[in-house]
Structure 1
């Protein structure tokens, strides 16, 4: 099997220096899916951009999403014609866009798509994520048919979490391509 291409899907406001996605881009040459507007994300625009990039990328593809990027994957997967190109998805610290405080800041993303994802996936959550309770992250994993990994107390699993290149996360992502 051909080595998968990894597409990085940052959340709202993109992933800055020190974020594990930025580290993976630097270390492994992963492709960050660039969105038109990181500050005012439009679900339709972000989904169309992901559709375009997946369509233009040779299979297999692995998706490595953070925060709003996880919600994007669920929405995109419910509508795409290219799900067969995706070998798996790592969904890290999904943002709970149905929470009143977040839905007011990030309009048009609720409700969250709840269909099982058509590819293997892992949701990684944190016990002290300010944007999604551990119970909510587990419920999303269940709805999406994903395995859930509790990372302990690591905040929003971003640059402030001090993960560096996050080799544990990389191993989780690559494990999605192992066919037992």
Structure 2
């Protein structure tokens, strides 16, 4: 009887880092993750100071398909809105090719944008995202208040993670490598795997049932 070939080893997803306005500088956690994580690479959206929505969406789409394997998106600030617009335009099948996304500190673009350069990204799509996602928000983010972030998370069907008072969750927040963020990335990966194993996909990470540290639970300050 011929021997069966060994089962194929699961392919680790590519981690695409999607920066916001002005790109992520050398001390930003996204830049540090790019150097720290073998599977991570930054999406070069270009026009960092005068972003053009469709250009950003097209370059994100190209990076996703060039990855040649499943993808996890890790977006910060305006990069989160680029991800939302990509999903709106492309209408991908759930989990194909994007398995999930960390959406960190999206900015207000509809009613009270802090910077006029965000205007081309309004109105922000509020369609449910076709992949697992965590929206990570701060209680004192100058670019979007926490209640608006919670409202957006409910429309995107993202799990809301309350990071307390962490500013815009950027280099100015003094996060360094941002180990809590890496823990959230690991939890997202586990959740994607748990969903494939038949666990309840409606289970909310903010409830703490996936073993997050207590200060990540909903309502923490």
Partners of 1:99 and 1:173 in 2: CA distance:
30
Residues 122 and 41 of structure 1: CA distance in aligned 2, closer, same or farther (over 3 Å): same
- Structure having the higher Rg: 2
Check if 1:66 corresponds to 2:76. Answer: yes
Q: List runs of 5+ in structure 2 lacking aligned partners.
A: 1-9, 195-221
Partners of 2:89 and 2:117 in 1: CA distance:
25
Partners of 1:82 and 1:54 in 2: CA distance:
11
Check if 1:33 corresponds to 2:46. Answer: no
Partners of 2:102 and 2:132 in 1: CA distance:
9
Give RMSD over aligned pairs: 1.4
Deviation by residue 1:150-172 (Cα, 9 ceiling, x = unmatched): 10101000001111111211121
Paired residues of 2:110 and 2:119 also in contact (CA < 8 A): no
Partners of 2:126 and 2:113 in 1: CA distance:
20
Partners of 1:101 and 1:111 in 2: CA distance:
11
TM-score by structure 1 length? Answer: 0.95
Aligned partner (choices 99, 103, 107) of residue 95 of structure 1: 107
TM-score by structure 2 length? Answer: 0.78
Paired residues of 1:55 and 1:82 also in contact (CA < 8 A): no
Paired residues of 2:16 and 2:42 also in contact (CA < 8 A): yes
Aligned partner (choices 135, 138, 141) of residue 147 of structure 2: 135
CA apart distance, 1:118: 0.3
- 1:168 match: 180
Question: Which sits farther off after the overlay, 134-143 or 94-103?
Answer: 94-103
Aligned partner (choices 17, 22, 26) of residue 8 of structure 1: 17
Partners of 1:69 and 1:101 in 2: CA distance:
15
Check if 1:51 corresponds to 2:27. Answer: no
What is the number of equivalent residue pairs in this alignment? 180
Paired residues of 1:90 and 1:122 also in contact (CA < 8 A): yes
Deviation by residue 1:96-116 (Cα, 9 ceiling, x = unmatched): 111334362323110001000
Structure possessing the higher relative contact order (Cα contacts under 8 Å, 6 or more residues apart): 1
